[in-house]
C-alpha cells in the first residue's frame, strides 16, 4: 500500500502508539515493543513513510493478539491506525 502522505516523525508515532497501548501493556512494555518492532523493521528514528508506518502497526497488531486475543488486537490496531493518521507530517 503506497500513499502520498508526507512522512511522519518516528518519535511522534512511537509516542502515540505508546499512549494507546499503555493501558493494555503498561507504558514501559508498550514503548519497548514499539521500539523493538521498529528496530526489526530498520526504522529506529527519523521519518517514517506510510509503508513503514503500516508495517510497524501490522507487526504490533499481530503481537498484541498473544496478549489480548485477536478481536481486541484488531480493535487496537484500528485505533492505532486512526490515531497515527491524525499526526501532523514531520517538518
Residue 57: per-residue pLDDT: 95
pTM score, two decimals? Answer: 0.88
> What residue spans define the domains of the chain?
8-85
Query: What does the pLDDT look like over 32-73, one tens digit per residue?
Result: 999 999 999 998 779 999 999 999 999 999 999 988 999 999
Using an 8 Å Cβ cutoff, are 20 and 79 in contact? yes
Q: Given CA atoms 26, 45, 11, 56 in this order, what sign does their dihedral have?
A: negative
Using an 8 Å Cβ cutoff, are 26 and 67 in contact? no
Amino acid at each position: 500500500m503506497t500513499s502520498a502522505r508526507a512522512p511522519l516523525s518516528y518519535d511522534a508515532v512511537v509516542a502515540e502508539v505508546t499512549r494507546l497501548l499503555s493501558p493494555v501493556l503498561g507504558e514501559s512494555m508498550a514503548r519497548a515493543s514499539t521500539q523493538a518492532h521498529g528496530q526489526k523493521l530498520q526504522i529506529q528514528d527519523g521519518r517514517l513513510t506510510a509503508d513503514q508506518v503500516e508495517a510497524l502497526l501490522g507487526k504490533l497488531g499481530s503481537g498484541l493478539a498473544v496478549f489480548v486475543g485477536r478481536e481486541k488486537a484488531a480493535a487496537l490496531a484500528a485505533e492505532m491506525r486512526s490515531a497515527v493518521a491524525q499526526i501532523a507530517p514531520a517538518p
